[in-house]
Protein backbone atom coordinates (compact mmCIF):
# COMPACT_ATOMS: atom_id res chain seq x y z
CA UNK A 1 0.00 0.00 0.00
CA UNK A 2 1.48 3.40 -0.92
CA UNK A 3 2.44 5.65 2.00
CA UNK A 4 -0.40 8.07 1.19
CA UNK A 5 -2.86 5.20 1.76
CA UNK A 6 -1.26 4.14 5.05
CA UNK A 7 -3.62 3.19 7.87
CA UNK A 8 -2.90 4.64 11.29
CA UNK A 9 -4.68 4.11 14.60
CA UNK A 10 -4.57 6.57 17.44
CA UNK A 11 -6.30 7.02 20.76
CA UNK A 12 -9.12 9.56 20.55
CA UNK A 13 -9.06 12.67 22.70
CA UNK A 14 -11.49 15.46 23.60
CA UNK A 15 -10.79 17.33 20.34
CA UNK A 16 -12.07 14.26 18.45
CA UNK A 17 -15.60 14.41 19.89
CA UNK A 18 -17.14 15.89 16.69
CA UNK A 19 -15.71 13.12 14.46
CA UNK A 20 -16.70 10.45 16.98
CA UNK A 21 -20.27 11.73 17.04
CA UNK A 22 -20.31 11.89 13.24
CA UNK A 23 -19.17 8.26 13.06
CA UNK A 24 -21.75 7.23 15.69
CA UNK A 25 -24.48 8.81 13.57
CA UNK A 26 -23.16 7.15 10.39
CA UNK A 27 -23.12 3.78 12.16
CA UNK A 28 -26.68 4.28 13.42
CA UNK A 29 -27.79 5.14 9.89
CA UNK A 30 -26.13 1.96 8.56
CA UNK A 31 -27.84 -0.08 11.29
CA UNK A 32 -31.18 1.62 10.49
CA UNK A 33 -31.55 2.98 14.03
CA UNK A 34 -30.73 6.68 13.61
CA UNK A 35 -33.80 7.51 15.68
CA UNK A 36 -32.11 5.92 18.72
CA UNK A 37 -29.10 8.26 18.79
CA UNK A 38 -29.45 10.51 21.82
CA UNK A 39 -25.71 11.18 22.19
CA UNK A 40 -24.51 14.75 21.93
CA UNK A 41 -21.02 16.21 21.85
CA UNK A 42 -21.46 17.06 25.52
CA UNK A 43 -22.46 13.52 26.57
CA UNK A 44 -19.68 11.94 24.50
CA UNK A 45 -17.10 14.35 25.91
CA UNK A 46 -18.18 13.70 29.50
CA UNK A 47 -18.54 9.92 29.08
CA UNK A 48 -15.26 9.31 27.26
CA UNK A 49 -13.02 12.13 28.47
CA UNK A 50 -14.52 13.37 31.74
CA UNK A 51 -13.27 12.60 35.25
CA UNK A 52 -14.53 8.97 35.18
CA UNK A 53 -14.31 7.73 31.59
CA UNK A 54 -16.79 4.93 30.88
CA UNK A 55 -15.01 3.72 27.75
CA UNK A 56 -12.08 4.34 25.44
CA UNK A 57 -12.11 5.29 21.78
CA UNK A 58 -9.65 4.89 18.95
CA UNK A 59 -9.73 6.43 15.50
CA UNK A 60 -8.48 4.92 12.27
CA UNK A 61 -7.06 7.13 9.55
CA UNK A 62 -6.35 6.09 5.98
CA UNK A 63 -4.26 8.44 3.91
CA UNK A 64 -4.53 11.00 6.72
CA UNK A 65 -8.35 11.12 6.60
CA UNK A 66 -10.69 9.75 9.28
CA UNK A 67 -11.73 6.26 8.19
CA UNK A 68 -13.34 4.58 11.20
CA UNK A 69 -13.45 4.19 14.94
CA UNK A 70 -13.96 1.78 17.79
CA UNK A 71 -15.30 2.34 21.29
CA UNK A 72 -14.53 -0.29 23.91
CA UNK A 73 -14.46 -0.82 27.65
CA UNK A 74 -13.29 -3.33 30.22
CA UNK A 75 -15.57 -6.14 31.27
CA UNK A 76 -14.95 -9.20 33.41
CA UNK A 77 -15.58 -12.93 33.06
CA UNK A 78 -16.15 -14.79 36.30
CA UNK A 79 -15.73 -18.08 34.41
CA UNK A 80 -12.35 -17.08 32.96
CA UNK A 81 -11.44 -15.17 36.13
CA UNK A 82 -9.87 -12.34 34.14
CA UNK A 83 -10.82 -9.06 32.58
CA UNK A 84 -11.93 -8.75 28.99
CA UNK A 85 -12.76 -6.09 26.47
CA UNK A 86 -16.23 -5.36 25.16
CA UNK A 87 -16.34 -3.60 21.80
CA UNK A 88 -19.38 -1.34 21.90
CA UNK A 89 -18.90 -0.09 18.36
CA UNK A 90 -16.48 -0.70 15.53
CA UNK A 91 -17.16 1.15 12.30
CA UNK A 92 -15.49 1.77 8.97
CA UNK A 93 -16.84 4.31 6.49
CA UNK A 94 -18.65 2.44 3.69
CA UNK A 95 -16.32 3.61 0.91
CA UNK A 96 -13.31 2.27 2.83
CA UNK A 97 -14.61 -1.18 3.69
CA UNK A 98 -12.38 -3.88 2.28
CA UNK A 99 -9.27 -1.67 2.37
CA UNK A 100 -7.76 -3.00 5.60
CA UNK A 101 -9.15 -0.38 7.98
CA UNK A 102 -11.41 -2.81 9.84
CA UNK A 103 -8.64 -5.39 10.11
CA UNK A 104 -6.27 -2.74 11.47
CA UNK A 105 -8.82 -1.65 14.09
CA UNK A 106 -9.46 -5.26 15.13
CA UNK A 107 -5.74 -6.09 15.34
CA UNK A 108 -5.18 -2.98 17.46
CA UNK A 109 -7.95 -4.03 19.85
CA UNK A 110 -6.50 -7.55 20.07
CA UNK A 111 -3.14 -6.06 21.01
CA UNK A 112 -4.78 -3.93 23.70
CA UNK A 113 -6.53 -7.04 25.02
CA UNK A 114 -3.27 -8.99 25.05
CA UNK A 115 -1.43 -6.16 26.88
CA UNK A 116 -4.19 -6.15 29.51
CA UNK A 117 -4.15 -9.95 29.90
CA UNK A 118 -7.77 -10.09 28.73
CA UNK A 119 -9.36 -13.49 28.48
CA UNK A 120 -11.98 -12.42 25.94
CA UNK A 121 -13.04 -9.80 23.45
CA UNK A 122 -16.80 -9.67 23.11
CA UNK A 123 -19.20 -7.69 20.95
CA UNK A 124 -22.65 -7.87 19.43
CA UNK A 125 -23.45 -7.73 15.71
CA UNK A 126 -26.86 -7.38 14.10
CA UNK A 127 -27.86 -10.71 12.55
CA UNK A 128 -28.13 -9.20 9.05
CA UNK A 129 -24.78 -7.37 9.13
CA UNK A 130 -22.38 -8.67 6.45
CA UNK A 131 -19.49 -7.88 8.82
CA UNK A 132 -20.30 -11.18 10.58
CA UNK A 133 -18.33 -13.01 7.90
CA UNK A 134 -15.42 -10.60 8.41
CA UNK A 135 -15.27 -11.36 12.14
CA UNK A 136 -15.61 -15.09 11.59
CA UNK A 137 -12.59 -15.03 9.24
CA UNK A 138 -10.57 -13.97 12.29
CA UNK A 139 -11.98 -16.84 14.40
CA UNK A 140 -14.72 -14.88 16.18
CA UNK A 141 -17.43 -17.28 17.23
CA UNK A 142 -21.14 -16.44 17.26
CA UNK A 143 -22.63 -17.20 20.67
CA UNK A 144 -25.94 -18.46 19.32
CA UNK A 145 -26.87 -20.19 22.57
CA UNK A 146 -26.94 -16.87 24.45
CA UNK A 147 -29.72 -14.27 24.21
CA UNK A 148 -28.68 -10.64 24.45
CA UNK A 149 -30.88 -8.57 26.80
CA UNK A 150 -31.06 -4.85 27.48
CA UNK A 151 -32.70 -2.64 30.09
CA UNK A 152 -33.19 0.79 28.52
CA UNK A 153 -33.30 3.97 30.59
CA UNK A 154 -37.06 3.71 31.18
CA UNK A 155 -36.79 0.06 32.28
CA UNK A 156 -33.86 0.92 34.58
CA UNK A 157 -36.02 3.59 36.24
CA UNK A 158 -38.93 1.20 36.76
CA UNK A 159 -36.67 -1.54 38.12
CA UNK A 160 -34.83 0.85 40.42
CA UNK A 161 -38.17 2.05 41.85
CA UNK A 162 -39.30 -1.44 42.93
Q: Assess whether pLDDT exceeds 80 at residue 2.
A: no
C-alpha 121: how far from its chain's center? 11
Helix, strand, coil share (%) of the chain residues, nearest 5: 40, 25, 35
pLDDT at 3: 55
Given a cut of 80, whether residue 15 has pLDDT beyond it is yes
**The model's pTM:** 0.93
Distance (Å, whole) CA 101 – CA 130: 16
**% the chain with pLDDT above 70:** 98
What tens digit of pLDDT does each residue of 90-140 get?
999 999 999 999 999 999 999 999 999 999 999 999 999 999 999 999 999
pLDDT tens digits for range 137-156: 999 999 999 999 999 999 99
Q: Are 60 and 42 in contact (CB under 8 A)?
A: no
Range of the domain at 20: 3-160
How many structural domains are present in the chain? 1
**Which position among 61, 72, 86, 135 bears the catalytic label?**
135
Give the sign of the dihedral formed by CA 105, CA 106, CA 112, CA 115: negative
**pLDDT of amino acid 109:** 98
- Residue 52 and residue 2: Cα distance in Å, rounded? 40
Residue 5 has pLDDT above 80, yes or no: yes
Task: Supply the CATH number for residue 130's domain.
Answer: 3.40.630.30
- pLDDT at 1 exceeding the cut of 50: no
What is the Cα–Cα distance from 57 to 105, expressed in whole angstroms? 11
Asked about 149 being catalytic, the answer comes back as no
Amino acid sequence: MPADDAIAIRKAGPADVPILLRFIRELAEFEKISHEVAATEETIRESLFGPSPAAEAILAYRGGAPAGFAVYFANFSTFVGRPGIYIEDIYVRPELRGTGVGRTLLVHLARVAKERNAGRIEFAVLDWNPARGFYERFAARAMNDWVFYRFDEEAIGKLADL
